[in-house]
Amino acid sequence: MSSTMPISQLIVSATGLILTLTLVLMCITSLTENQKKAAIKATTLLPIAFALMILPFSINESYIWMIHILTSIIIISGIYLFIPRPFFKSNQESIPKGKLDERTIMFARKELTPGTDRYNEYYKEFPEHLKDDEAFRRLPGLLSPSSKFYHPFAFPASGAIFNIVDSLHAFVDGKTSEAKTKQSPDKIASFIKEWAKKSGALSVGFTEMKDYHWYSTGGRGDRYGVPIEANHTHSIAFTVEMSHQMVQSAPKSSIILESATQYLNAGIIATQIAEFLRGLGFESRAHIDGNYQVVAPLVARDANLGEIGRMGLLMTPKYGPRVRIGVITTNLPLPVESRNYDDSVEDFCEKCQKCSTNCPGNAISDQPAQSLNDVIRWQIDSDKCFNYWNQAGTDCGRCMNSCPYSHPNNLMHNLVRWTIRNFPNFRYWAVKMDDFFYGRKTRTQKLPQWFDAN
């Protein structure tokens, strides 16, 4: 027997052991997530991985050449897949330019009432929006009893929660105490971070406010048409988790109930922090659902909470787009960390395209990121997206539940996410593995059992 055989045996057998343990973990993980098809696929591959583990010690010496070939394949594949990230050229971050007029976003246009002066003035200034907006106004609408996914409990419950969120608008701003605290900004920031997490935030970050963070003009309620003044220097951004179970039933009624719930949770956290800071003597404003002066995903991105993905949402490291965002702007000079741009997210989104494949409104591009206003990014078709919302009666979330980054925060998926982040050549195969186990066209789960209205 060749003196090199024990090394070849060890390499092949160790690879089989790693694959076996990985597939066992995949099977257990899939069963706990109610992904039965994924568990079955993992189980069917187990005999192959187990055979690879024991093959080197059971093969006849006349077939030793097979072990050498397998060893070569394993080594070459391993080198290819696990070339570390520093060996690759990093992409440059594309910085937004200019400000967005809030009047032009779909939520603001939804509030325009036909026949009013505001309606006529808007479409005189932006005539290109009229045709599409007339189309969505003919549809049932969000939370409508005549919409596709109407639910007799979830829709009224969501409406009730959104009403409570609206009531928090009275607390987004307020009078600042004339007596300013003597506590240091670092100590205040540390307290806020821990308090926010104790209150339900997943992640918290600080950033200096940039020009592109602010809307140029208000577009909703009594802020309509009012120029927005960028009068705060710093911001606090945080995320709250959306339940994986509730998101997996999207675009059914669970998604809008979960959205409403987490908008409320984010609103409570944001308004209480803003009120706290005003009490310490620092001007502060909370930015919550229906009452933003800032583009929240951009603020959160610059606070190092994630990156902007193909679907236009913030992609967080452990929960993907399955979060809602809260922002507080302030004049407190918060301790700001340097921007830590992670190009692995955009590179993965470039290869994945799963949100585009599964979007029922055909609103997400499957094309490479393009230069839009001198910024390299993807642009979703917000008109198509919002039209589907008004048919479904929910805020859809299909892109969110099909995204590989949206898998639960557990050992199996965190291991994959870590590998995606650190080994660029692995990313393409990670997409293929996700397609294999979960399907390229992902399956929408049944509503949680407690939704049963019969």
pLDDT tens per residue across span 275-304: 999 999 999 999 999 999 999 999 999 999
Determine, yes or no, domain membership for 266.
yes
Where is the domain boundary, 62, 81, 100? 81
Give the total number of structural domains in the chain: 2
Do residues 141 and 32 share a domain? no
Determine, yes or no, domain membership for 410.
no
pLDDT confidence tier of residue 1, bands split at 50, 70 and 90: very low
Query: One-letter amino acid identity for 238?
Result: F
Do residues 116 and 236 share a domain? yes
Do residues 114 and 11 share a domain? no
- Residue 119, burial from CB neighbour count under 10 angstroms (0-12, 13-18, 19+): middle
Measured distance CA(42)–CA(23) in Å, rounded: 5
Q: pLDDT tens for residues 159-190?
A: 999 999 999 999 999 999 999 999 999 999 99
Q: Which residues contact 354 (CB under 8 A, 6 or more apart)?
A: 402, 403, 404, 431, 434, 435, 440, 442
Q: What's the domain range around 61?
A: 5-81
Determine, yes or no, domain membership for 326.
yes
Q: Can you give the pTM of this predicted structure?
A: 0.93
Do residues 113 and 72 share a domain? no
Where is the domain boundary, 380, 401, 422? 401
454 vs 207: which has the higher pLDDT: 207
Determine, yes or no, domain membership for 154.
yes
Measured distance CA(212)–CA(11) in Å, rounded: 53
Do residues 151 and 245 share a domain? yes
- Cis ω for the linkage preceding 251 (within 30 of 0): yes
Determine, yes or no, domain membership for 443.
no
Helices and strands in the chain: count of H runs, count of E runs: 17, 8
Q: pLDDT tens for residues 246-267?
A: 999 999 999 999 999 999 999 9
Where is the domain boundary, 401, 419, 441? 401
Do residues 391 and 316 share a domain? yes
Give me the chain's average pLDDT, please.
95
Note the pLDDT of residue 454: 66
Reported in sequence order, the residue ranges of 296-394 that DSSP labels E, i.e. its strands, are 307-308, 314-315, 323-330, 370-372, 375-377
Do residues 350 and 279 share a domain? yes
pLDDT confidence tier of residue 227, bands split at 50, 70 and 90: very high
pLDDT confidence tier of residue 61, bands split at 50, 70 and 90: confident
Do residues 251 and 194 share a domain? yes
Do residues 76 and 122 share a domain? no
Do residues 235 and 288 share a domain? yes
Measured distance CA(313)–CA(232) in Å, rounded: 24
Determine, yes or no, domain membership for 438.
no
Do residues 66 and 204 share a domain? no
Do residues 116 and 54 share a domain? no
